[in-house]
Chain A
Amino acid sequence: MMALDVGYMPKKRIARRAQELIDAFAGDREGDRKAPINVELIAERHLGLGLEIEDLSARLGVTGVLGAVWFDEGIVRIDEGVEHDGRYAFTLAHELGHWVLHRPLWESKQIEVPLFSLDGAEPTPAVVCRSDKKPQAEWQADYFASCLLMPEPLVRETIAELYGRDLPRWEGFNALVKEREYDPDLAHVASVVIEAGGFDNVSKQAMGIRLKELALVGDASDPVQETLF
């Protein structure tokens, strides 16, 4: 099993790669550009990847595995224990992040490390994604997943429709962010955005993180933002 040592990649580039994937998948079908972004069809129909759901922990002999991508076989496997729709879509989108962002690097490493392509050897996944490990490659794949399922223009559009120019802000937001505490107000706004924007395959937690990351929510004491776009 090979750990991917990836370099720095700016957020903008990751977001662009996710948007390019959506655009290439959708083509002239405008509906496919809207939420919920169909990551299953992007994986299987557009990228031509195999998609399998199975007991990954048993296959790999390690616990806490959510998903894994086999670069050499072109297969994404998701653990059968990932049941929640939002968690499932995010895990699959995360693996697509590895496929899009990291496969070229893996391919170049393959040439340098022929030991990993021994004839007759059982193909092993290039990237195994566990819930408790977040090296750089995992962070990048997470961000890609976030951009793929919640494209910035769609999230901004939904926020604008719901709140106009008056972005949702409340007391105590900054303190809870600092202490990494659960924020019921953020969870509420996230669920409203999910409902209004049709982000049916996104969890409240993922939407909350996205809204914070895009600075579309804030603390009542923050200076009011003048423009949304």
Chain B
Amino acid sequence: MSESFGERIKERRLERGFGLREAAKLFGISPTYLSRIENRAERNPPKQETIEKIAEVLQMDFDELMRLAGRFTDDVKEFLTQDEAMPAFLREAREENLSGRELLEMLRKRRQGNDES
């Protein structure tokens, strides 16, 4: 789990004016677990449903939280694991120093080209 996951949650929680225990109740987790996450003492990231709840309560971007937690949503996980060429594709993209944003941009341009033709 990324070190900044807990820090981001804590920072946002305090900005929104939620106490530790109050927030833990709203997230549906124990105060001890939330405290461990925030203080980087927890190795296991929360499950997807909990991250959804955190994003909802703290009004944060769900995908960003999932990324910080080192988790993939079920649909992404399925896509990544079902295509056997996917690991090679991702490795090559990394070797080319292509960021996700650049890949997304390439896809969008391709889609635009298809639409125009």
Contact = CB atoms under 8 A, between A and B. Distances in A.
Nearest to A44: B14
A157 interface: no
A45 interface: yes
B14 A53 contact: no
Interface residues of B, number: 14
Interface residues of A, number: 15
Nearest to A88: B21
Contacts of B22: 40
Interface in B32-82: 32, 34-36, 39, 41
A53 B21 CA distance: 9
A191 interface: no
Contacts of A40: 19-22
Interface of A: 38-41, 44-45, 50-55, 80, 85, 88
19 contacts: A40-B20, A40-B21, A40-B22, A44-B14, A44-B19, A44-B20, A45-B14, A45-B17, A51-B20, A52-B35, A52-B39, A53-B21, A53-B31, A53-B35, A54-B32, A54-B36, A80-B32, A85-B21, A88-B21
B83 to A, nearest CB: 43
Interface in B1-47: 14, 17, 19-22, 30-32, 34-36, 39, 41
A171 B34 CA distance: 48
A37 B61 CA distance: 30
A80 B14 CA distance: 21
Which of B19, B32, B39 gathers most chain A CB within 10 Å?
A: B19
Given A41-B14, A53-B34, A54-B36, 7 more contacts: A40-B19, A40-B21, A44-B20, A52-B39, A53-B21, A80-B31, A85-B21
A40 B24 CA distance: 12
A58 B55 CA distance: 33
A46 to B, nearest CB: 10
B5 to A, nearest CB: 16
A11 B43 CA distance: 45
A52 B20 CA distance: 9
Contacts of A80: 30-32
Contacts of A85: 21
B17 A53 contact: no
Contacts of A88: 21
B32 A53 contact: yes
Contacts of B19: 38-41, 44
Nearest to B39: A52
A51 B17 contact: no
Contacts of B17: 41, 45
B31 to A, nearest CB: 5
A55 to B, nearest CB: 8
Contacts of B30: 80
Contacts of A54: 32, 35-36, 41
Contacts of A39: 19
B14 to A, nearest CB: 5
B40 to A, nearest CB: 11
Nearest to A53: B35
